[in-house]
Amino acid sequence: MKTRTLYPVLLASALLFSGCTTVGFHAPTFGSEKKEPSADQIDAYPNRPIEIIVPTGAGGDTDLGARLLGRYLGEEMDTSFVVTNIAGAGGSMGSREVLEADPDGYKVLFFHNNLLINKLYGLSTFNHNDFKIAGIALMDHGDTFIVHGDAPYQTANELAQAAIEQPGELSFATEVGGYTHLQMMAFEEATGADLKPIDVGGASDKLVALLGNQVDIVPIAYGVTADYIENGDFASVGVLSSEQHALYDNTPTFLEQGIDVEFEKFFFFAFPKDTPDAIVARFSEALKEVVENNEAYQEQAESYYTIPTYMAPEEATRYMDDVSHSYERLIERLETQTN
């Protein structure tokens, strides 16, 4: 039986990594003139703390992944990493903070699929191609829909049937226009379900809403809610990956249940577009070493229900291009059916 990491303890322990990561909240500063690094500064990189901008609130899977990687990257690069949370606009606020930062390697974005979706939905004017990608570091194949443990629907098919029989009555916690909203719409398209989206907020807000019976369904990473599932408070109706994983207790996929919906979450690092290649390469090399060869990191990442997966900058960019195109086709199809 695998060792589980309790979610509240997980956040607390991440905050206690002495000298490696801290949490900060501040208003983003846009519009200042960018300062290019000198040749000497490039050669000396890094010689001061590096700030990871997480464009979500504290406590979710993105934040926790950034903190864990910050600890081990700090050891690998012999510097400290500071995590700053700048939530808002589906991640666009924090992402823009990095987009408009000095291209000196000391401010880096850690985010996921939502960066692509924000532009496709018109919530932002930029996507991954407006940054310099340093690499993909993590995959989460455990995207899931969770419901109350005593709900009358405990599988994806039962949930779909309930949403067909009660159109617009079952509420779905999401960030309207974001990654989970797209999952909901794909589920509706594939099954004929009719759900009511409720804009709740981040992962912790969604869990509170479900615990308080304010919503019926929460799309979330399996690892964030695994302990609630184990104790019976919540139930997973299925995972959205292409196949079952032991890491997620071999929970049946939507595909196995005959529902053609598949989403897998990736987490990446990105710098401002004009960041020198030498700086990005140095960061990426350290990331590769941590993800592929640091057994302590790998063990902890898996205890957080994420799968260490390194993709170099060019490969990661191509992968993100492909994912963006698949989302674009899905959104076009959904819009065609709505009109």
> If you write DSSP's letter for every residue of 192-214 in order, what string do you get?
----EEEE--SHHHHHHHHHTTS
User: Partners of 146 in the beta sheet?
Assistant: 218, 236
Burial state string for 40-62 with b = 16 or more CB within 10 A and e = fewer than 16: ebbeebbeeebbbbbbbbbbbbb
CATH class, range 143-263: alpha beta
CB count within 10 Å of CB 249 equals 16
Q: Are 182 and 261 in contact (CB under 8 A)?
A: no
The boundaries of every CATH 3.40.190.150 domain in the chain are 7-139+265-326
CB crowding 123-132: b at 16 or more within 10 Å, else e: bbeebbebbb
For residue 179, what are the contacts with CB-CB under 8 A and spacing of at least 6? Answer: 112, 113, 114, 117, 263, 265
Spatial CA neighbour of 93 closest among 73, 109, 75, 77: 109
Q: How far is CA 62 from the centre of its chain?
A: 5
CATH 3.40.190.10 spans which residues of the chain? 143-263
3-class SS of residue 233? coil
C-alpha to C-alpha distance for 5 and 305, rounded to whole angstroms: 9
Q: What is the pLDDT along the chain (339 residues), one digit of tens a residue?
A: 333 333 333 333 333 333 334 434 444 444 457 889 999 999 999 999 999 999 998 888 899 999 999 999 999 999 999 999 999 888 999 999 999 999 999 999 999 999 999 999 888 999 999 999 999 999 999 999 999 999 999 999 999 999 999 999 999 999 877 889 999 999 999 999 999 999 987 788 899 999 999 999 999 999 889 999 999 999 999 999 999 999 999 999 999 999 999 999 999 999 999 999 999 999 999 999 999 999 999 999 999 899 999 999 999 999 999 999 999 998 988 877 665
Q: DSSP label at 256?
A: G
Pairing of strands 50-54, 131-140: unpaired
The answer as to CATH 3.40.50.620 being correct for domain 7-139+265-326 is no
